[in-house]
Amino acid sequence: MKVDGQNIRPIWLDSDLKKVKVIDQRLLPHEFLVADLKTVDDVIRAIKEMVVRGAPLIGVTAAYGVYLAALNSPTDPVEDAYLIEECIRLKSARPTAVNLAWAVDEILSEMLKVGDASEKVDAARKEAEKIAEAEAENCRRIGAHGFSLIDKISRSKKGKTVNLLTHCNAGWLACIEYGTATAPIYAAFDNGIDIHVWVDETRPLNQGARLTAWELGKYGIKHTIITDNAGGHLMQHDMVDMVIVGTDRTTFTGDVANKIGTYLKALAAKDNNIPFYVALPSSTFDWKLRDGVRDIPIETRNPDEVRYVQGLDRGDIRHVLITPADSPAQNFAFDVTPSRLITGFITERGVCRASEKEILRLFPEKKKS
Amino acid sequence: MKVDGQNIRPIWLDSDLKKVKVIDQRLLPHEFLVADLKTVDDVIRAIKEMVVRGAPLIGVTAAYGVYLAALNSPTDPVEDAYLIEECIRLKSARPTAVNLAWAVDEILSEMLKVGDASEKVDAARKEAEKIAEAEAENCRRIGAHGFSLIDKISRSKKGKTVNLLTHCNAGWLACIEYGTATAPIYAAFDNGIDIHVWVDETRPLNQGARLTAWELGKYGIKHTIITDNAGGHLMQHDMVDMVIVGTDRTTFTGDVANKIGTYLKALAAKDNNIPFYVALPSSTFDWKLRDGVRDIPIETRNPDEVRYVQGLDRGDIRHVLITPADSPAQNFAFDVTPSRLITGFITERGVCRASEKEILRLFPEKKKS
């Protein structure tokens, strides 16, 4: 996507084919820094510490991690046992996003098909690039399908500003291009629809206030940052026409694990008859899980992410303690929104209701015989 | 309440009877500072800038403001027109808490009954002290009534930890003693019930993470700070037995204006069949308003309270910018929880449902003839 006139993605392979380059998303919007990932350990650390984040991007980064594993193999030819071991390590970097395991397994199966070391390395690179391009293309399609929903609201409001609300960052930073939740927003903006986005801050790591606001600002889209507490009030007072969020894992029955707090916004949307959409590439579907609230593993992260807040003070990025020094905190990274609260899914194949039947209508190849 | 072995209240009249002393709640938990209020302007500024906050405390501070108005009268005898003018200024300091107008009107009507200057000053002081004592006593009674609700849960859990969740600070810092939402919590703790409190951070000003956590910690009560986003997840997973919050204004039909985000927690409690109680002294009832969502005025505050976060870094209190420098924010201070989402009210006269009929059963003198 364009940032200050330059096209950029959150991840790319360096021209020497030895380093994976990623935007360090921990420092935005205050600093724009590109980090080098050279080893599987670098990749795991980048995923764990959220240098990269967002389900599709985690998948693509892990895919490049498999490539780096092959590239840095201690043996020649690359041993399958080594590769499988590295893939297991990569898959355990974070528990909730299903794209991680999906992307690693995709690429591993391609590599196990070919023989010698250079073939394996080539296969890994091509497959990682293929996954990245596929995610970008999926997001483009999500944008096209979601656009018609926003366009419809705009027409019903006779061209008056369409107010969207989003939680966390399901933007291009979380994907490769366009984003998932933001793809329809970018498409609407590109097509001249008058839109305004309420951006949930998204504590504890403020991906909304830091990343979504930055993305939208750089694209020139009107937006306003609000606390995570404010969305219900806005919805009670007709200040939100549609909610769009992303997802980190989606059951085939339509339950959605997304950034903690998504469930609260879905409840408020339901209570105020406001459409609540989840935008997702099919790589975030978990075709095995039926009951999201019960079965999707929810990551708990370092409590200091709650106790401290990062921000800019006189040019320096600082971490300030906001709690009493001796008060404990707990840090749940995701929650699960049950399908009954979701108006619909916006996928690369079109829009459908959040139900097993409708999902399988769009993805018939996933039907169990 | 006891802090490090010393009894303290958030507000008191200095022994010289010329200064009102208040704990500066903007600096807690990092600094404990007592500020002097000497004039009506000092009082208005303290209320506006949230040196003092919380509906009952705002009322008591404003009451002392009327006392300071009389004390600092430019004329002797004190002119009624001057007093009325100062009272109007005091009442406009913040729009949502109804206690502010209520306390000022109470005290003004007492003062208008007496004649000369020293009588007016005396009447004002006595009435302000009376209001403060009444609020303390109301909170004590709220504690006693609310205790039986927690005790019942504890018995049904056979003594296992009772998990409470609260939003913002409706503790003794917001009142005079005990607090409203915290009064049942302190009473349960004093009576040996095993309790644990989930403390919502409460963005933007973090009254939960800063003040409630500090209060509970000083009292030795087990608590855990969570983001405002986390409560829904906890409730989905049986980690909350009861929600208790305060209120800044309550319609006689049972709608509750409280810190922004309260409505989202009420929705989650309803969705998970968890009791959601509001603790309130009758001074927060607005006996004129029927429809809370439509008619309670919601304060919007400085957007920089959203864009910046205050915290401690290497011994200094700093304000760090968390958003892009050029992204706008909006700052709604309260939202309204409709009565249908509220299990009950805990008042100084007992527990009742959040309905006009039940409220008037407890407060029959408010029935319109």
The C-alpha angle with vertex B311 and arms to B52 and A218, in degrees rounded to 5, equals: 110
Q: Does A154 lie in the same domain as A47?
A: no
Q: Output the pLDDT for position A327.
A: 98
Residue A224 near residue A187 (C-beta atoms within 8 A): no
Q: Which CATH number belongs to the domain containing residue B57 in this structure?
A: 1.20.120.420
For residue B163, the distance in angstroms to the closest alpha carbon of chain A comes to 14
Q: Does B123 lie in the same domain as B244?
A: no
Cβ-based contacts under 8 A for chains A and B:
220
Pick from B279, B166, B176: nearest CA to B216: B166
Q: Domain boundary at A87, A102, A134, which?
A: A134
CA dihedral B140, B144, B150, B155 (to 10 degrees): 150
User: Taking CB atoms and an 8 Å limit, are B318 and A319 in contact across chains?
Assistant: no
Q: Output the pLDDT for position A16.
A: 96
CA pair distance B334, B256, nearest whole angstrom: 10
Q: Does A115 lie in the same domain as A181?
A: no
User: Taking CB atoms and an 8 Å limit, are A323 and B210 in contact across chains?
Assistant: yes
**Number of domains making up chain B:** 2
ipTM of the assembly? Answer: 0.96
Domain boundaries, position A346: 145-366
For residue A303, give both structure tokens: 């409590």
Q: Does A236 lie in the same domain as A124?
A: no
Contacts for A79 with CB less than 8 Å, ≥ 6 apart: A73
> What letter would DSSP give residue B161?
P
Q: Please indicate if any CB of chain A lies within 8 Å of the CB of B310.
A: yes
Which B residues in the span 116-175 are in contact with A, Cβ-Cβ below 8 Å?
Answer: none
Question: 3-state class of A245 per DSSP?
Answer: strand
Q: Output the pLDDT for position A114.
A: 86
CA pair distance B341, B266, nearest whole angstrom: 6
Q: Does B299 lie in the same domain as B195?
A: yes
CA pair distance A124, A119, nearest whole angstrom: 8
Q: Does A92 lie in the same domain as A51?
A: yes
The strand ranges marked E within B51-140 are: none
Q: Does B322 lie in the same domain as B179?
A: yes
User: Taking CB atoms and an 8 Å limit, are B318 and A320 in contact across chains?
Assistant: yes
Q: Does A175 lie in the same domain as A57?
A: no
Give φ, ψ of A177 to 5 degrees: -140, 155
Q: Does B160 lie in the same domain as B71?
A: no
For residue B277, give both structure tokens: 């109680």
Pick from A320, A321, A303: nearest CA to A311: A320
For residue B275, the distance in angstroms to the closest alpha carbon of chain A comes to 17
Among chain A residues, CA nearest to B216: A327
Residue A60 lies in a domain: yes
Q: Which CATH number belongs to the domain containing residue B189 in this structure?
A: 3.40.50.10470
Q: Does B98 lie in the same domain as B170?
A: no
For residue A263, give both structure tokens: 């469930």
Burial of A75 from C-beta contacts in 10 A (0-12 / 13-18 / 19+): exposed
Which B residues in the span 311-330 are in contact with A, Cβ-Cβ below 8 Å?
Answer: 311-313, 318-330
Minimal Cβ distance to A323: which of B225, B263, B307: B225
Q: Output the pLDDT for position A3.
A: 87
Q: Which of A3, A169, A229 to mutate to test the interface with B (most CBs of B within 10 A)?
A: A229
Residue B68 lies in a domain: yes
Minimal Cβ distance to B324: which of A29, A203, A319: A29
CA pair distance B169, B279, nearest whole angstrom: 12
Residue B238 lies in a domain: yes
Q: Does A250 lie in the same domain as A184?
A: yes
Contacts for A342 with CB less than 8 Å, ≥ 6 apart: A254, A256, A266, A276, A277, A278, A354
Q: Let me know how long chain B is.
A: 369
Minimal Cβ distance to A328: which of B30, B224, B265: B224
Q: Which residues from chain B sit within 8 angstroms of residue A208, using beta carbons? A: none
Residue B155 lies in a domain: yes
User: Taking CB atoms and an 8 Å limit, are B312 and A321 in contact across chains?
Assistant: yes
Instruction: Tell me if residue B255 is catalytic.
Output: no
Q: Output the pLDDT for position B185.
A: 98
Residue B139 lies in a domain: no
Q: Output the pLDDT for position B369.
A: 57
Q: Does B245 lie in the same domain as B180?
A: yes
Q: Domain boundary at B75, B107, B134, which?
A: B134
User: Taking CB atoms and an 8 Å limit, are A210 and B322 in contact across chains?
Assistant: yes
User: Taking CB atoms and an 8 Å limit, are A320 and B323 in contact across chains?
Assistant: no
Q: Please indicate if any CB of chain B lies within 8 Å of the CB of A289.
A: no
For residue A111, give both structure tokens: 């590599």
pLDDT in tens, chain B (369 residues): 888 888 999 999 999 999 999 999 999 999 999 999 999 999 999 999 999 999 999 999 999 999 999 999 999 888 999 999 999 999 999 988 888 999 999 999 998 888 777 888 999 999 999 999 999 999 999 999 999 999 999 999 999 999 999 999 999 999 999 999 999 999 999 999 999 999 999 999 999 999 999 999 999 999 999 999 999 999 999 999 999 999 999 999 999 999 999 999 999 999 999 999 999 999 999 999 999 999 999 999 999 999 999 999 999 999 999 999 999 999 999 999 999 999 999 999 999 999 999 999 999 999 875
User: Taking CB atoms and an 8 Å limit, are B322 and A311 in contact across chains?
Assistant: yes
Q: Domain boundary at A82, A109, A134, which?
A: A134
Catalytic: which of B241, B248, B255, B335? Answer: B248
Helix-helix angle A80-91:A55-71, to 10 degrees: 150
Positions in chain A whose pLDDT score sits under 50? none
Pick from B202, B171, B213, B166: nearest CA to B333: B202
CB B74: neighbour CB atoms within 10 A? Answer: 7
Q: Which residues from chain B sit within 8 angstroms of residue A331, using beta carbons? A: 226-227
